[in-house]
Amino acid sequence: MHRLKIISGHLRPSSPVGSRRDLQRAECGSAASRSPEDVVVVHGLRTAIGKAKRGAFKDTTPDELLSAVMTAVLKDVGLSPNKLGDVCVGNVLQPGAGALMARVAHFLSGFPETVPVYTVNRQCSSGLQALFNIAGAIRSRSIDLGLACGVESMSLRSVGNPGDLSSRLMDNDKARDCIIPMGITSENVAERFGVSREKQDAFALSSQQKAARAQSSGLFQQEIVPISTKFVDSDGKEQQVTVTKDDGIRAGTTLAGLSKLKPAFKNDGSTTAGNSSQVSDGAAAVLIGRRSAVQALGLPVLGVLRASAVVGVPPDIMGIGPAFAIPAALEQAGLTVADIDVFEINEAFASQAVYCVEKLGIPLEKVNPNGGAIALGHPLGCTGARQVVTLLNELRRRGKRGYGVVSMCIGTGMGAAAVFEYPGP
Please list the pLDDT of the chain residue by residue as tens digits (425 residues).
455 665 533 433 233 334 333 444 444 444 447 899 999 999 999 999 999 999 999 999 999 999 999 999 999 999 999 999 999 999 999 999 999 999 999 999 999 999 999 999 999 999 999 999 999 999 999 999 999 999 999 999 988 677 788 889 888 999 999 989 999 999 999 999 999 999 999 999 999 999 999 999 999 999 999 998 877 777 888 888 899 999 999 999 999 999 999 999 999 999 999 999 999 999 999 999 999 999 999 999 999 999 999 999 999 999 999 999 999 999 999 999 999 999 999 999 999 999 999 999 999 999 999 999 999 999 999 999 999 999 999 999 999 999 999 999 999 999 999 999 999 87
Provide the residue count of the chain.
Answer: 425
| Cβ 330 vs Cβ 419: under 8 Å | yes
How far is the C-alpha of 188 from the C-alpha of 190, rounded, in Å?
A: 5
Return the axis-axis angle of helices 182-193 and 350-360, rounded to nearest 10°. 40
Strand-pairing partners, residue 410, are 414
Find, among 80, 81, 64, the residue nearest to 6 by Cα.
64
Find, among 171, 186, 86, 180, the residue nearest to 137 by Cα.
86
How far is the C-alpha of 182 from the C-alpha of 173, rounded, in Å?
A: 17
pTM to 2 decimal places:
0.92
Domain boundaries, the chain: 5-157+204-253+275-420
Residues involved in catalysis:
124, 378, 409
For 5-157+204-253+275-420, the fitting CATH number among 3.40.50.300, 1.10.3720.10, 3.40.47.10, 3.40.640.10 is 3.40.47.10
